Amino acid sequence: MKNVKYAIIGFGGIAEHRIAKEGFACDKKRFKKGLANAELVGVTDKNPAREKAASALGLKWYKSMEDILKDKSVDAVFIATNNRSHAAVAKAALKAGKHCIVDKPAATTVKDAKELCALAKKNKLSLAVDHMMIYNAYNEKAKELIGKGALGNVNDICLHMEFLYGSTPEEAKTWRCADPAEFGGPIGDVASHCMYMAEFLFDSKIKSLSCVYYPKTMKINVEDGAYIKFVMDNGVSGSVKVGFNEPRGGLGGTLSGLGYEVYGSKAALRGYATLFQLSGHDDEPVKIRLDMDDFKTVKSCDVKKIKNIYQSVIEHHAASVLSKKPMDGLDAVHNIGLIIAAHKSAQSGGKVLKVQ
pLDDT in tens, 333-350: 999 999 999 999 999 999
Same domain assignment for residues 171 and 207: yes
- At 2 the pLDDT is 86
Same domain assignment for residues 288 and 197: yes
Which domain CATH number covers 106? 3.40.50.720
Q: Sheet of 353-354: strands edge to edge?
A: 298-300, 289-293, 268-272, 259-264, 154-162, 237-243, 225-232, 206-213, 353-354
Same domain assignment for residues 138 and 244: yes
Q: What is the b/e burial string over 175-198, where b = at least 16 CB atoms within 10 angstroms of the residue's CB?
A: ebbbbeebbbbbbbbbbbbbbbbb
pLDDT in tens, 127-161: 999 999 999 999 999 999 999 999 999 999 999 99
Which domain CATH number covers 240? 3.30.360.10
Same domain assignment for residues 221 and 300: yes
Same domain assignment for residues 164 and 52: no
Same domain assignment for residues 143 and 128: no
Asked whether residue 198 is domain-assigned, the answer is: yes
Give Dmax (Cα) for the chain.
Answer: 62
pLDDT at 1 over 90: no
Give me the number of domains the chain comprises. 2
Cα separation, 45 vs 37, in Å, equals: 25
Cα separation, 269 vs 202, in Å, equals: 13
Q: Is 122 exposed, middle or buried (0-12, 13-18, 19+ CB in 10 A)?
A: exposed
pLDDT at 83 over 90: yes
Domain that holds residue 40: 4-132+310-328
Cα separation, 308 vs 43, in Å, equals: 21
pLDDT in tens, 190-218: 999 999 999 999 999 999 999 999 999 99
At CA 129, angle to CA 7 and CA 245, rounded to 5?
Answer: 105
Please give the helix or strand (H or E) that residue 345 lies within, else none: helix 330-346
pLDDT at 282 over 90: yes
Cα separation, 243 vs 226, in Å, equals: 6
CB 78 within 8 A of CB 9: yes
Judged by DSSP in three states, 164 sits in: strand
Cα–Cα distance list, 123 to 96, 106, 117 (Å): 10, 18, 10
Please give the helix or strand (H or E) that residue 210 lies within, else none: strand 206-213
